[in-house]
Structure 1
Amino acid sequence: MQKNLRSPLKNYWKKAKRRIKAKLRTQRYRTIHAISSLVADLITNTVIIVGLLLVIFLTAVTLSFSLSIFLGSHVLGFLGATICLSLVALGLLWQRPKVERYFAGLTITRYFEKIKEKR
């Protein structure tokens, strides 16, 4: 009688252990996928930011030298570029809510696209 009771319990225990191991394995894979996705996003965003900063810097230098040639003086060219870039910065500050809404919309859209990809 004892042997008959132990056999189903052992089978049940083995099945439960296998299921738990399988669930732990899938959870581990999901965690690894989430971490790698997060790191990939971080690297991508860093490269994009560095690229944008480089573009802004090179645009400022190009604008400065172009204005220098146009105005006939390096000092006036760089002063003109500084004034132009300052006006752009002030425009962004005055329109800050619109800019924030735009970037928030981009972030939210990107988030929902990632959720849609997971399905």
Structure 2
Amino acid sequence: MKVVPAEEGGGATPPRKPFLVHVGWLLFLLIRGFLLWILLPFALVSWLLIHWWWQRASLGQAACWYDSLLTLFLIFVLLRPLLYRDPQLQAQRFPKIPAMGAIEPYRLFIMLA
């Protein structure tokens, strides 16, 4: 088994099979899609109770903050054995609560036919 050097993002871990990496990202999309149905109503309630007056955050900023926490949790904790470890992704950190008001919310557009 070949070990990938640290310069290539592998450290002392063996390389992952491309099939398992694709399965990991598919699981990421499925799990994240399901959990967003639970997370977004929770973000709305928590924004109504806390974040709009404490951090002066908008609803979009609160939803993006919770989504980024969920995404980082799934990539770095739950699906870590399956996903490829990109050195640029390793630099990501969990956002702190006081930084919620500084987050740039997503721009969503609904296309109507």
- Tell me the TM-score normalized by structure 2: 0.29
Which structure's CA Rg is the greater one?
1
**Structure of greater relative contact order (alpha carbons < 8 Å, 6+ residues apart):** 2
- Tell me the TM-score normalized by structure 1: 0.28
Structure having the higher helix fraction is: 1
